[in-house]
Amino acid sequence: MLLEATAKDEKYGYSEKMPILVGGGFGKGSENTYKFLNALLGPKSEVVHYTRIGTCCSFKTKNSPFGDEGLLEVYEIRFEGGTAERLYFNWYDSGTPMIPLGLTARK
Q: Are 84 and 91 in contact, with CB atoms under 8 Å apart?
A: no
Domain ranges of the chain: 20-95
From first to last of its 107 residues, the chain has per-residue pLDDT tens of: 889 999 999 999 999 999 999 999 988 999 999 999 999 999 999 999 999 999 999 999 999 888 899 999 999 999 998 889 999 999 999 999 999 999 999 98
The reported pLDDT for the residue numbered 65 is 85
What is the strand order of the sheet 49-60 is part of? 20-21, 85-90, 69-78, 49-60
pLDDT of residue 82: 86
Per the CB < 8 A criterion, the answer to whether 63 and 91 are in contact is: no
Whether 7 contacts 20, CB under 8 Å: no
